[in-house]
Amino acid sequence: MKRNYPTYSFNTILGTDLINQVVYHEAGHAAAIHLYNKQKQLPPVYFEITIQHIEHNNVRYAVDSDLRRDHFVAMVEGGRLIHSLPIALIEGVLNNQDALRIAYEADMINLLVGPLAEAKYVALRDGESFNKNLINLESLHNYGGSSDIEKVYEYLESFVADTDLQAQLLNDLLKQAYQFIESPHYWRAIERLAAFIKANIANTIRCEDAITVLDKVSLLR
């Protein structure tokens, strides 16, 4: 799960704003991996968060045609059930025939939560409205979501053959990802983890440390 720069030309983002967008994006992914999977009683899966080459001064970041689409500054490594855990283990935990579908859908929702969390942060920062009628898959490209969306489509194509069913499922998954970040409890967890990531921006955030932050929020519920 890596956070892409937007691909449109000659956009400029103030360094501090970019840092905050990046940490909310990655905090969204990580919070969903731990808390959404836990909510669905899925097995825990290892992940870590890395942030690369971010300036801390008021430097302007120019995004132009020389910056390739796959250029990124942050990523969550690991965190996907399908790639990390044997299906037999997932089936054993869930104890039903829908285990594979549930694991696929959880991974896709966790991918979508990252750019959605960034989009919500930007809306709140700018005093703008944020609701499900303003959010669609295309808009998430503007919030570092190109790589995440590409992976979601890879999941869909390997799991659902019919293109109409793909569209229906994707719409439902986007709604579920939106509901996750709109939960006050889960959004507070994303905020706390984003603050922790920013305070440790030069370091790799270990899975155990991220989970500790997220679970402390759960205790306050």
User: pLDDT value at position 73?
Assistant: 62
Sites in the chain below the pLDDT cut of 70? 1-15, 52-73, 87-88, 91, 94-97, 218-221
> Which pLDDT does position 168 carry in this prediction?
93
Q: Do residues 180 and 5 make contact, with C-beta atoms less than 8 angstroms apart?
A: no
Residue 1: the pLDDT is 57
The pTM of this model reads 0.83
What is the model's pLDDT at position 6? Answer: 47
Given this model, what pLDDT does residue 97 score? Answer: 58
The whole-number pLDDT of residue 7 equals 38
Q: What's the token pair of residue 119? A: 């989009």
* Burial label, 155 (beta-carbon count in 10 A; 0-12, 13-18, 19+): buried
**pLDDT, tens digit, for every residue of 37-77?**
999 888 889 999 987 654 444 443 333 333 333 344 678 88
Q: CATH classification of 2-219, choosing from 3.30.1240.10, 3.90.1720.10, 1.20.58.760, 1.10.10.10?
A: 1.20.58.760
- Please report the pLDDT score of residue 132 as a whole number: 86
Tokens at residue 180, please? 């996750």
Helices (H), 4-137: 15-31, 37-39, 81-84, 87-94, 99-125
